[in-house]
Structure 1
Amino acid sequence: MDFSKKIINWYKNNHRKLPWRENKNPYYILVSEFMLQQTKVSQAIKYYSNFIKKFPNLEKLAQAEEKEVLKEWEGLGYYKRAINLHSFAKKLREKPIGFFPKKYQELIKYKGIGPYTGAAIASICFDEVVPAIDGNFYRVFSRYLGIYNNIISVFTKKILRTFILKMMDKKNPGIFNQAIMDLGATLCTPKRVKCLLCPIKIYCFSFKNGTVYELPVKNIIKKSIRNRFFYYVFICNNSKKFCINKRLNKDIWKGLYEFPLIESEKNLPLFEIRDKIWKKYKIFSDNIIYKVKNKINNQILSIQFLNCKIMKPIQIKKNLNKFFFISHEKICEYPFPSPITLFFKNEKMI
């Protein structure tokens, strides 16, 4: 009781002023929580306001085309989040007007809503007593309770969840969850902690024993880095329109648009790139006009853009039947991966 009271009192005076906290509108919280998955708050804020202006409610979001939703998400990354959010809106359109799942167990049935997101929405918007456990929670409570078990393990997570449920404020679960989030984000940080400002320091195991930087214990098996080499074929026809296609495979950037692509697991010399482009698309490639590197999780993408010449229009139609041509003016209507957006800027197309 004392723990939750101190945490909530601290939050009331020190909470971060975030745009989605202005009211308990579940749609606003939903959008923010999707954006905050694997993304810093500062980055999410930049996108949140524009997204809400474009799609002010679930109905507007459900009515939009996937292309429009991804365009608003462009640059934020992890585009599957946007696709799942859009899917959620469309599924709710099949329900009675005004319906929104209120319980944690109902929320996590939808794709893209995991335990943390479901708990955050259920507690903040509908006062369900369920902890929204994320990295901040694990860090705060492992330090506070002095838990040296590996927090990645299922066993440790169960122990922490049991303790947190006992310590939660039953009347204000949403505020409690947000208080722990803010405490972990501003004071009980991974580095440069601000223990002297913490409202619960006198009870904290790590503060009393000088073990703040020893916890949490997090034994992660590092994934090996995968190198991928992308060779984009930039084709511009006589009408000054260029060739693009939508990525549909289950891979990075699904749903976004790109140029014809040659991919390799190794770096290729120019003559081999040209040969592969000719074999796949029957197009003669000229010089490399732009290079960029992009890191996504455990992948490093080395990307090159090649200027290509159209020899015969009939060949283009035959070998690029899944592609289509758009004008420079239409660029703003399609969502592209950040390397292609950088290419456009470099070529002064946008």
Structure 2
Amino acid sequence: MYFSEKIINWYKKNGRKLPWRETKNPYYILVSEFMLQQTKVSLKTIKCYLNFIKKFPNLKKLAQAEEKDVLKEWEGLGYYTRAIHLHFFAKKLKNKPIDFFPKKYKDLIQYKGIGPYTGAAIASICFNEVIPAIDGNAYRVFSRYIGIYHDITLSVSNNKFRIYISKMIDHNFPGLFNQAIMDLGSILCTPKKAKCFLCPVKRSCFSFKNGTVYKFPVKNNRKKKPILGRFFYYIFICNYHKKLCLNKRLSKDIWKGLYDFPLIESKKKLTENEIRENVWKKFQLIYNNVIYQIRHKLTHQILSIQFLNCEITQNFSKNIFLEKFIFIPYGKICEYPFPSPILLFLKHEKMI
């Protein structure tokens, strides 16, 4: 009781003022939790959240939307699979009564994209279910406070942490408790330069008393995934009707569901002659020159991207290589969702 009372009182005075905290509407909370998966709270996130809610004010509107429009509103946030799963959730519920929403943690986690943390956050905040929401902040706060030496990279640690936290969670205000832990970890109990002297529970904190703050949480060194280098050569063309050629990404790769240009991918950097040969061989197009290039870093990938200015030959109508792509008028570009490198290119060319 001492712990939960202290952190909830601290949270009420010092917690971050965020638009999704002004409501108990489960749909709004759902959208915010999806957006915050693998993404920190920022002005960009808040702006995207507000625009998304304005465009799709409820589950019904979201279910009725085209995937293209949902991804467009998600544009710039990254990890687009989250938006696809959110859209899928809405479509799964579209035939339910208008006020239906899964209220229990065990029901929420049955849906794609809703993992243990997201399910617990929604269930506790919206429906007062007494269940801890355990994310990186919670691991850090509780491992330091209690002195938990379990390796948080191991899946078995989650159950152990859940047992510890379940004994400390506030049974009257579980949602406030979980949000307080989240903000305590984000504002005071940070990975580096922790503000321990401002912490409301420092006097009973194991790490503060024993000088072991930065020894927690325990993470045994694991082999880092190698950084994959990929070379992308985008084909920039338009047909004789001044329409731009686009490709919708459908494979289980980065940016699934987004749009880009016809692509030549290589494991190595291509020479001018190799580019020319590939462009002709794969698309029956004439390569002119590179008009833009950029390096784009992802979590475990570095993309070296070049945009190639290419021409369509006179026998365009017989070009079977371009049949699987779509052609859109320049004026419709802003209606399509693109990954960041394509957006940068379009801005560079002053097309958006």
* TM-score > 0.5 by shorter chain: yes
Report what 1:252 is aligned to.
Answer: 254
Moved more, 103-112 or 239-248: 239-248
> What amino acid maps onto 1:325 in structure 2?
F
Question: Is 1:320 paired with 2:322?
Answer: yes
Contact 1:62-1:89 within 8 A present in 2 as well: yes
| 1:91-106 alignment, distance < 5 Å | 91-106=92-107
Contact 2:7-2:177 within 8 A present in 1 as well: yes
Question: Which of these residues, 238, 245, 251, is aligned with residue 240 of structure 2?
Answer: 238
CA–CA distance in structure 2, aligned partners of residues 28 and 299 of structure 1:
33
> What amino acid maps onto 1:178 in structure 2?
Q
Report what 2:140 is aligned to.
Answer: 139
CA–CA distance in structure 2, aligned partners of residues 56 and 166 of structure 1:
37
Contact 1:206-1:212 within 8 A present in 2 as well: yes
> What amino acid maps onto 2:51 in structure 1?
N
CA–CA distance in structure 2, aligned partners of residues 300 and 316 of structure 1:
36
Report what 1:283 is aligned to.
Answer: 285
Same amino acid, percent of matched pairs: 70
CA–CA distance in structure 2, aligned partners of residues 316 and 216 of structure 1:
62
| 1:154-165 alignment, distance < 5 Å | 154-165=155-166
CA–CA distance in structure 2, aligned partners of residues 94 and 303 of structure 1:
44
CA–CA distance in structure 2, aligned partners of residues 110 and 29 of structure 1:
16
- Offset, 1:73: 0.6
> What amino acid maps onto 1:231 in structure 2?
Y
| 1:1-350 alignment, distance < 5 Å | 1-42=1-42, 43-219=44-220, 220-314=222-316, 317-350=319-352
- Offset, 1:320: 0.7
- Per the alignment, in what secondary structure is the counterpart of residue 232 of structure 1? strand
- Per the alignment, in what secondary structure is the counterpart of residue 124 of structure 1? helix
> What amino acid maps onto 1:53 in structure 2?
K
- Offset, 1:155: 3.0
CA–CA distance in structure 1, aligned partners of residues 318 and 188 of structure 2:
59
Tell me the TM-score normalized by structure 1: 0.98
Segments of structure 1 that go 5 or more residues without pairing to the other structure are none
CA–CA distance in structure 1, aligned partners of residues 7 and 68 of structure 2:
42
Number of positions where the alignment pairs a residue of Structure 1 with one of Structure 2? 350
CA–CA distance in structure 1, aligned partners of residues 212 and 112 of structure 2:
39
CA–CA distance in structure 1, aligned partners of residues 315 and 189 of structure 2:
62
Contact 2:284-2:319 within 8 A present in 1 as well: no
Deviations 1:162-216, CA, capped at 9 Å, x for gaps: 1100000011100000000000000000011111110100000110111111111
> What amino acid maps onto 1:189 in structure 2?
T
CA–CA distance in structure 1, aligned partners of residues 91 and 160 of structure 2:
37
- Offset, 1:251: 0.6
- Per the alignment, in what secondary structure is the counterpart of residue 167 of structure 1? coil
> What amino acid maps onto 1:115 in structure 2?
P
- Offset, 1:313: 4.0
> What amino acid maps onto 2:170 in structure 1?
D
Contact 1:310-1:316 within 8 A present in 2 as well: no
> What amino acid maps onto 1:70 in structure 2?
L
Deviations 1:38-90, CA, capped at 9 Å, x for gaps: 01100421211111111111111111100000000111100000000001001
Moved more, 278-287 or 177-186: 278-287
Contact 1:293-1:301 within 8 A present in 2 as well: yes
Moved more, 144-153 or 60-69: 144-153
> What amino acid maps onto 2:339 in structure 1?
P
Segments of structure 2 that go 5 or more residues without pairing to the other structure are none
Contact 1:282-1:315 within 8 A present in 2 as well: no
CA–CA distance in structure 2, aligned partners of residues 326 and 314 of structure 1:
16
